[in-house]
Amino acid sequence: MATVKKIWNVVSTALVVIMVLCAVFLMGSRLLGFQCYTVISGSMQPKYMVGDLLYVKEVDVNSIAVGDDITFILNEDLVIATHQVVRVDAANQRFYTKGLANEIEDQDPVHFNNVIGVPQFSIPKLGYVSEFVQNPPGMYITIGIGILLILAIFLPDMLGKKKNEDEDEAVAAVKTEIDATTEENERLKAEIERLKAETHFSSGEMSQLSSVKKEDKSEN
């Protein structure tokens, strides 16, 4: 039983660590100024593969040059894309882009205002995890697993502590009962001794009275 508990503690701790690391990579990165996007097409293969998670950081658009990758708003439906800059039209504030796996340039140029940022790095396949935990039903499953892991880690200790407290209370109750019984025994013992003393005293008085009566008879 102890071995099973030890193994479970190791497994549950490892799962918690994995979840915390995923949370750091997915959420904590935003505190550092990154925005995360999942690669959903193969247009930038082999540099960015489908399912990779891109960490994009906002930069000054004037610093972007030919050969840089940019993440931008593709159309009015707010679809996000990441392609490489092949030409810059600074006068009209336009970037002309192309996917590494595509043979021709993108049909529409990217206005400077539609640029979100420049990818700084990517983590392979983490995008699948990101999509899963941020959208139903994966979001609810993840929350449920998190709650179950927390209960699995802390509940046994809480139950063990409660059990120990109950055992301590039971021991204290028995001790109190024993002390009360001992005290009652001592009281009864003292009462018996008192009664013995009184009985002995009464017997002495009776003997004395008998002697007095005998003496009275003798005088008569």
In sequence order, which residues have a C-beta less than 8 Å from that of residue 57 and are 6 or more positions away? 33, 34, 35, 117, 118, 120
Half-sphere exposure of residue 26, counting CA atoms within 13 Å on the CB side? 18
Across the chain, where does the E strand assignment appear? 34-38, 53-57, 69-73, 80-89, 94-98, 110-111, 115-123
CA dihedral 11→12→16→17, nearest 10 degrees, is -30
Task: Please report the sign of the dihedral spanned by the C-alpha atoms of residue 199, residue 205, residue 209, residue 212.
Answer: positive
In sequence order, which residues have a C-beta less than 8 Å from that of residue 56 and are 6 or more positions away? 34, 35, 36, 37, 71, 82, 116, 117, 118, 119, 120
Amino acid sitting at position 165: E
- Measure CA 62 to chain center: 44
pLDDT the model gives residue 194: 73
pLDDT the model gives residue 12: 67
pLDDT the model gives residue 48: 96
The C-alpha atoms of residue 98 and residue 82 are separated, in whole angstroms, by 9
In sequence order, which residues have a C-beta less than 8 Å from that of residue 65 and are 6 or more positions away? 85, 88
Report mean pLDDT in 10-residue bins for the chain, 220 residues: 68 70 66 89 95 95 97 92 97 97 95 96 89 78 75 69 63 70 75 72 57 54
| pTM for this prediction | 0.59
Residues 119, 124, 127, CA angle at the centre, nearest 5°? 75
Half-sphere exposure of residue 144, counting CA atoms within 13 Å on the CB side? 6
